[in-house]
Amino acid sequence: MFKKDTLIIRKLNISDASVVQRLIDEIFSVPPWNDDWKAEELRAYTAELLGGRTALCFGLFDRMELAGIALGRTKTWWEGKEYVLEEFGIVENLRGKRAGAYFMAEVERLAAAEGCAFMVLQTERTAPAYEFYKKAGFTESAGSVMFVKSI
């Protein structure tokens, strides 16, 4: 179990880019994700996420160190404003201790406070995150499918 009293959640912005880049690399360059970001691409990606007009990004800080990220954006939709979560991750030493569940619940609360009615994300069925999101109350959209095509 984690100690909630050492955790702080705050909004992230473009000024947090370098620390967010380090955390993305730490979390996602290892199994099961094995992302292989080039430095320039990672800088561009974090700038897009943190600096976009509709960016809504949060950081979980443990003893003032960035320990988790929720990087997303809002999107206007006919059923209500959506929070599109692009990246969610937490450092390894906090995994399995309910810190991720706590962070996700707080992100939901904060997104709702920003006027969001829905939270949407995508993940792979074979990734550990799949079960995490199910436990967090997300359901698969039976009527939706994601298409990919190399161009």
- Per residue of the chain (151 residues), what is the pLDDT tens digit? 667 778 999 999 999 999 999 999 999 999 989 999 999 999 999 999 999 999 999 999 999 999 999 999 999 999 999 999 999 999 999 998 999 999 999 999 999 999 999 999 998 888 889 999 999 999 988 888 888 888 9
- Which of 141, 145, 106 lies closest to 120 in space, CA to CA? 141
Q: Alpha-carbon distance 40 to 34, whole Å?
A: 18
Residues listed for the chain:
151
What is the CB neighbour count within 10 angstroms for residue 148? Answer: 4
- The answer to whether the pTM exceeds 0.85 is yes
Kindly provide the b/e burial profile for residues 60-89, where b requires at least 16 CB atoms within 10 angstroms of the residue's own CB. bebeeebbbbbbbbbeeeeeebbbbbbbbb
